[in-house]
Structure 1
């Protein structure tokens, strides 16, 4: 019985973060790799969230050959949770390297935004939005599949 109670209590944070279709996402603002602010708004249709470096590498691989403005053309934004990255590493190496990317990376330095959305490490969470409300969500663990989904999003 103690085991069941402990298990249930350990799952509560995950259940509390569960988003339901139709639920409106709380607004937030993050800075990108160029220190430019971006606020989630009703015009965002795709929210990509990477909780760790492996997830961010999937996005990087999926967007490797894409032109500048590729995500913006799909009304998509990418949030990278970098809270576990040592500050010195992010400041001296990681963020300067991101400035060369052809896409915008919204940097969640404290993990306050990415933690609002369900998802697993090593994956990219895709939240499909309409007027700021969740329509559907899915996860990608493969860059090719993510790239194909982004291509499909351009056709809609």
Structure 2
């Protein structure tokens, strides 16, 4: 039994490998802050992943003052990993606060999606996609730089 447990644990990193350049990202579905489902498809060109509250705050600061639909017009998708947040806090405070945002936040409540895209916890991971394939990857730890990068994307 110990051998089986060690074998399974040693194979876990292989199942959660990062996406490689040119690789097609596996589709997934998450609910946003309004409990509306979104499925990653070939239309997405930018995937922003925040693994912590600090990362999510960077995205929010970068999108401050932008009109509703700004991120979606750039075929951008924002995934926030909120699995470390206590469920009661998320339900009563955090998610209702997110409903005032002028952009969608795909909520990874159980860390099913965000771990597929490893990045430092305090940064925002930017995955550039074309036809569902990863073509570039960047990390941002500054809201002004993230905002500038978003402004360079043509809607």
Question: Normalised by the size of structure 2, how large is the TM-score?
Answer: 0.89
Q: Which structure 1 residue ranges, 5 or more long, are not aligned? A: 1-8
Contact 1:14 1:118 in 2 (8 A): no
Does the 8 A contact of 2:16 with 2:115 survive in 1? Answer: no
Structure 1 runs of 4+ aligned residues shifted over 6 Å read: none
Structure 2 distance, partners of 1:129, 1:38, is 17
Shift of 1:17: 2.0
CA apart distance, 1:153: 1.1
Contact 2:28-2:40 at 8 Å conserved across structures: yes
Distance between the aligned counterparts of 2:137 and 2:14, measured in 1?
A: 15
Which residue number in structure 2 is paired with residue 154 of structure 1?
154
Residues 18 and 117 in structure 2, CA contact (< 8 A), matched pair in contact too:
yes
| Residue 95 (1) aligns with residue 95 (2) | yes
Q: In 1, Cα distance between the equivalents of 2:51 and 2:148? A: 21
Q: Which residue of 2 aligns with 1:61?
A: 61
Query: What's the TM-score, normalizing by structure 1?
Result: 0.89
RMSD across aligned positions (CA)? 1.9
Q: What is the number of residues matched between the two proteins?
A: 146
Residue 54 of structure 2: SS of its match in structure 1? helix
User: In 2, are the aligned partners of 1:129 and 1:135 still within 8 Å (CA)?
Assistant: yes
Matched residues in 2 for 1:37 and 1:16: separation? 23
Matched, 1:113 2:113: yes
In the alignment, the residues of structure 1 paired with residue 16 and residue 39 of structure 2 have an alpha-carbon distance, to the nearest angstrom, of 23
What corresponds to 1:145 in structure 2?
145
